[in-house]
Amino acid sequence: MTRRMRKKLALSKEKNKEIVGSNSENADDGCLRSSTICDLDWMALPDDTAIQLFSYLNYRDRASLSATCRTFRLLGSSPCLWDSLDLRYHKFDIAAAQSLSSRSKNLRKLRFLGAESADAIISLEARDLRVISGDFCRDITDATLSMIAARHEMLECLQLGPDVCEKITSFAIRVIALCCPKLKRLQISGVKEVTGEAINALAKHCRQLVEVAFMESNSVDELALGNLTSVQFLSLAGTKNLKWNSASCVWSKLPKLVGLDVSRTDITFSSVMRLFLSSQCLKVLVALHCPVFEAEVDNHMTYNHKGKILLTVFNDIFKAVGSLFVDITVNESNNLSYWRKVKSIDRSMDVIATWIEWIFSHFLLRIAENNPKELDAFWIKQGAALLLDLLQSSQEDVQERAANSIATFVVIDDENATVDSQRAEVVMQNGGIQLLLDLARSCREGLQSEAAKAIANLSVDSKVAKAVADIGGINILVGLARSVNRLVAEEAAGGLWNLSVGEEHKGAIAEAGGIKVLIDLIYKWHAGNDGERAAGALANLAADDSCSMEVAVAGGVHALVMLARSCKFEGVQEQAARALANLAAHGDNNNDNAAVRREAGALEALVQLTSSQHEGVRQEAAGALWNLSFDDKNREAIAAAGGITALVSLAQSCSNSSQSLQERAAGALWGLSVSEANSIAIGQEGGVAPLIVLACSDIADVHETAAGALWNLAFYPSNALRIVEGGGVPALIHLCSSSASKMARLMAALALAYVFDQRTEEFAPGGPSSEGTSKTMNLDEIKRVALKKIEAFVLSFSIPQNFAAAMVSSAPKALGQVAEAVRIPEAGHLRCSAAEIGRFVAMLRNPSSVLKACSAFALLQFTIPGGRHTLHHTSLLQNAGASRVLRAAAAATTAPIEAKVFAKIILRNLEHHHLEALN
C-alpha cells in the first residue's frame, strides 16, 4: 500500500503513555520564530512578556522551563498560566496529577482523554474547576464520574463525548446534580438511559442549568425534561425511542427554551410544527437528517417563521442562520464569511451562534463517520462549506471537530486509501487547504493534529496534493513531524506519506528535510505501530533514485531493518519491507541494493517475513528479496539465510492469494534461480511444481514471472525432468501460444527449447516394458507439439517481404527493418550467463530447424543495441567464438530463412559493439 488515511482517532493505551510536548518552533500563530529566538535576551524580557511566552507552552514545557532558573520558576508559577490545561496529548495519570497539584489550585478549565486521565483528575488539587471536558470516555464509570463531581462543587460545565459513554448511567447524573449546584452546561453522549429521576434531580438542584445535551441515548424521559425550566438550549441528537407527541407538547412549554436540537431522530412532521409554532421563546429548531420528518415535509417549506428558524438538510442553512440576526435582502448563501459577519452585527445573539456552531460540529462529525448515502448531495451543496466555516470558529473544540470531519467525510474506503475526489476538491476550491494549513501552524496541539490528519486524507487526491505542496504544506508537515508530541508527529508523517506518492513531491519533501525527520521518527518510536506512516513515506521516497540514496546516507537502511526485525505490528513490517524493496530496486544506479545486504540481519529478517500471517507483509518481503536477487552476492546470501526454502514454501501456499503475492513469490524464485546452485536447490526443495501452477494463471504478470523462473530452472537436466514429470510442458506450450505477454511467450519458448534441445530418451524411463515405451511415445508427441508451438511463436514476428529483402541484402536498412519488427523491448532486461549463451550458440548447430531459429531469435533479442545487458551478452558471444557459428548459420542452405536472417543481424550487432569498444 502506497498511502494511508485516518478517518477517526482511536484511543491507544500505548500512545497515551507517552509524555510529549509541543512544537513551538514551527508555529506561526503568535509563536516565536527561530530567527527571533536567537536575538533575544530572555532574562531582560518584561515579566508580562515572559508570562505571555510561557502561555504558548504545554504544561510539561512550562515546568521544564521553570526549572532552569529562579526567575523563570517564579514566572512559571504565575496563576494565570495554570488556569487552563489541555492534557489530551500527554500522559496524565495519578503520578502526573500529584506532581501538578501544587500548580493546579487556580485551575479553572481542564480537557482530558480517556479513563486513566479521568481517574487522575481526582488527585488534582483543583477544587475551583469550572469546566471539565473529556474525550474517549467509553470506559469511564459511574464511580469515577461521581468522584469528579464530588470533588469539584464549583463545576459549571461538564462535557463528555462525542463518543458514547456506555458505562455511565443515571446514577452518576444524579450525583452530578447533588454535588454541582452551579452547573450551567451538561453535555454527555451515549448514556443508555436517562431516567426521570436523574433529570428531576438536575431540575431541583441545578437551578442555573442553561444547556443540556443527552445525545446518542437509547432512552430519555421526555416528560421529565419539561421540568428543566431554566434550560435555554437542549439537544437530543441521535437519541432513540422518544414519544414525540408528548415530548413536543411538554417541551413547547419550556419557558426559556431558545434552541432545540432533534437531529438524527425519528421526529415527525407534526411534532416539528408543534414545537416550531407553539414554543414562545424558541428561536432555533435543528432537525438535520431526520428521515421520518423529511419524508413528510415539503422541501420548499419556509425556514423562517416569526423570528424562528428551522434548520434542515434541504434548506439553505447559511441563509437561514443569517436571517436569525438580520433581515436578508440579498442571497448570501454562498459566502462562507457571511455567517460570522452577521454575528458581529448583533453581539447579543452570540450565545445562540456559539450553540449553533457546537451543534453543527457534532452533527457533521457524526454523519461523516456514518456517511449515509442519502446525504451525498448535501456534502457538495453545503456540508463542505459548513465545515470550512466552522474551521474559523472561535471555539477550539468546534475547530477540531470540523477538521476531524473533513478528514473523515472525504474517505470512501480507508483500507484501500480511497477518497471522494469531488468532496476533496470542493474543500480545495473553497479555500479549505489554506484554512487547514493555518490551523496546522497553530500553537495548540489538538488543532495541529486534527488539521494534519485532514490534510493527509485530502492529499490522497492528486489535485489537492498539488495544492498543498504549492502553498507550502510540505514544509509545514515536515515541521510538525519534528514535534515531540507523538500524535502530532504521526499525523504529519501520514500527510508526508500521502504526498510522497506523487513523483513531483518527492524532491520537495527531501529538500525540506523530510527524509531525516522520518528516519528520526522510526528511531524514536520503533517499538509500537507508529512507525508505519514514517516507513510508508520512506518507502514511497525510496522509489525515487536520488531520494533513495539520501535515505541510505541518512541511516534509513538501518532504521528500516530495525523495524523489519523487531517490530511485531504487521502494518509496520509491511511498510518497512516495501521500503527495503524500493531501495533494492536501484541496483544499477546506486549502491542501495548492496547497502541492504550489508546491514546485519536484513536478509534474515526479510526471509522470516515471507512466513508472516499477513499477506501484505509476505508480499512486500518477497518483493524485496526479488529486487535484492538481481545482485550476484545477494543471491547467495539470501540462499544462505534460508531464502530458497522460505520462498518455495511461499510459492506452494500462494495459489489462492493475491496477484501481487503470486507474482513476487515467482519473481523472487526467478531471481534466485539465476545461480546454478540456487536453481538446483529450488528444484530439490520442490519449487518446480508450484511454479508450474503459477504458470497456469490467467494473469499475465503472474505467469510471466513463473515462466521466467521455469526458463532458468529448465537449463539444468534434473529440473527439466521435473518440469516434464510435473506436467509443466503442456503449461509452457499453452503460454507459448496463448499468452498476451510477448515476454511470457518468449520465456516459455526458451524453456521448452531447453527441455527438448537434447535427446528425449534422457527423460524416458529405462527398461523394455510397454509402459516405458508408451511414455516415450507420449513424450515424442509432446515434443512434436512443443516444437510446433515454438516455431509458430517465432513465425508470429515474421514479415515475409522484410525477410526476403534481408536475404538478398545485408544493408543496414533491410536488416534494421527485421530487427525492429521482432524486437521485444522487455527482453533487453534479461541477463544470461556464459553457460546459457554457450547453450544458445550450440543450439545453432542443432539438427532441428525450429531450435536453430529459436536460438537465433533469442540471441538477437539479447544483442539488440540499447538493451540493458547488450554489452554483457556481446562480450560473452565473442568470448565463445560465436561469430564463426553465426556465419555458418547465415550461410547454411538447410537452415530456415528466419535463422539465417537473425544470424546476419546478430553478426551486425557484434560488429557494431566491437566498433564502439574500439572507439
Looking at the chain, the whole-number percentage of residues with pLDDT higher than 70 is 87
- Considering only CA atoms, which of 735, 724, 725, 722 is closest in space to residue 694? 735
Average pLDDT over residues 103-117: 90
Residue 9 in this model has a pLDDT that exceeds 80: no
Q: Quick one: cell of 257?
A: 427554551
Looking at the predicted structure, is the pLDDT value of residue 782 above 80?
A: yes
pLDDT at 48 over 60: yes
Closest CA to 518 of 342, 499, 336: 499
What residues have CB less than 8 Å from 331, skipping those under 6 apart? 319
Among 314-328, 694-708, 711-725, 771-785, name the one with the lowest average pLDDT.
771-785
What average pLDDT score do residues 756-769 get? 54
Q: Which amino acid is at 751?
A: A
For residues 628 and 603, the answer to whether their CB atoms sit within 8 Å is: yes
- Taking the C-alpha atoms of residue 867 and residue 16, their distance in angstroms, rounded to an integer, is 55
Is pLDDT at 304 greater than 60 in this prediction? yes
Tell me, what's the pLDDT at 22? 38
Instruction: Indicate if the pLDDT at residue 860 is higher than 70.
Output: yes
For residue 641, give the DSSP letter.
T
Cell representation of residue 455: 490534510
pLDDT averaged over every residue in the chain: 87
pLDDT at 253 over 90: yes
Is 704:740 a contact under the CB 8 Å cutoff?
A: no
The pLDDT confidence band at residue 342, using thresholds 50, 70 and 90, is low
Of 401, 389, 392, 470, give the one whose Cα is nearest residue 430: 389
What is the C-alpha separation between 55 and 50, in angstroms, rounded?
9
Looking at residues 481-504, what average pLDDT do you find?
94
881 φψ region: left (φ > 0), alpha (ψ -120 to 50), beta (else):
left
| Residue appearing with cell numbers 489537492 | 464
Tell me what pLDDT residue 15 has.
44
> Element (H or E) spanning 418, and its range?
strand 418-419
H helix runs in 500-642, sequence order? 503-511, 514-524, 531-542, 545-553, 556-566, 570-584, 592-598, 602-609, 615-628, 632-640
Tell me which DSSP letter residue 810 carries. -
Of the pLDDT bands very low, low, confident and very high (cuts 50, 70, 90), residue 759 is very low
Q: What is the pLDDT of residue 85?
A: 86
Say how far apart CA 856 and CA 882 lie, in whole Å: 11
Helix, strand or coil for residue 378? helix
Q: What is the pTM of this model?
A: 0.85
d(CA 517, CA 481): 7
**The dihedral sign for the CA sequence 462, 465, 471, 472:** negative
Distance CA 249, CA 256 (A): 15
Here the cell at position 645 is 526454502
Q: State how far the Cα of 758 lies from the Cα of 767, in Å rounded to an integer.
A: 20
Q: Which residue has the higher pLDDT, 161 or 346?
A: 161
Angle between helix axes 545-553 and 503-511 (nearest 10 degrees) is 30
151 close to 176: Cβ distance less than 8 angstroms: no
Q: Cell triple for residue 855?
A: 536460438
What is the C-alpha end-to-end distance of the chain, expressed in Å? 47
Q: Mean pLDDT, to the nearest integer, of 626-634?
A: 90
Beta carbons of 240 and 217 less than 8 angstroms apart: yes
DSSP 94: H
3-state secondary structure 291-354: HHHHHHCCCCCCCEECCEEEECCCCCHHHHHHHHHCCCCCCCCCCCCHHHHHHHHCHHHHHHHH
Length, in residues, of the chain: 919
Beta carbons within 10 angstroms of residue 746's beta carbon? 27
| Grid cell locating 38 | 536567537
Q: What ranges in 376-511 are assigned the alpha helix state H? A: 376-378, 384-390, 396-409, 421-429, 432-440, 445-458, 462-470, 473-481, 486-499, 503-511
Cross-sheet strand order for the sheet of 284-286:
84-86, 109-113, 131-135, 157-160, 185-189, 211-215, 233-235, 259-261, 284-286, 308-311, 304-305
**Stretch 517-540: mean pLDDT, rounded?**
89
Question: Residue 102 — very low, low, confident or very high, per pLDDT cuts 50/70/90?
Answer: confident
* Omega within 30 of 0 (cis) for the link into 765: no
Cα separation, 619 vs 208, whole angstroms: 62
Q: Bigger pLDDT: 891 or 455?
A: 455
The answer to whether the beta carbons of residues 623 and 581 sit under 8 Å apart is yes
Q: Which of 95, 25, 19 is nearest to 60 (CA)?
A: 19
The dihedral through the CA atoms of 430, 434, 435, 437 has a sign that is positive
Q: Is 249 exposed, middle or buried (0-12, 13-18, 19+ CB in 10 A)?
A: middle
* Averaged pLDDT, 232-253: 96
- What gap in Å lies between CA 277 and CA 296, rounded to an integer? 17
β strands within 199-306, DSSP E: 211-215, 219-220, 233-235, 259-261, 284-286, 304-305
- Buried b / exposed e across 625-651, counting CB within 10 Å, b at 16+? bbbbbbbeebbebbbebebbbbbbbbb
Q: What's residue 83's pLDDT?
A: 83
pLDDT tens, 195-215?
A: 999 999 999 999 999 999 999
Residue 554 pLDDT greater than 70, yes or no: yes
Cell of 131: 469546566
Distance CA 630, CA 679 (A): 14
Higher pLDDT, 474 or 804: 474
**Coil, helix or strand for 112?**
strand
Question: Dihedral sign, CA of 798, 799, 800, 802?
Answer: negative
Q: Which amino acid belongs to residue 2?
A: T
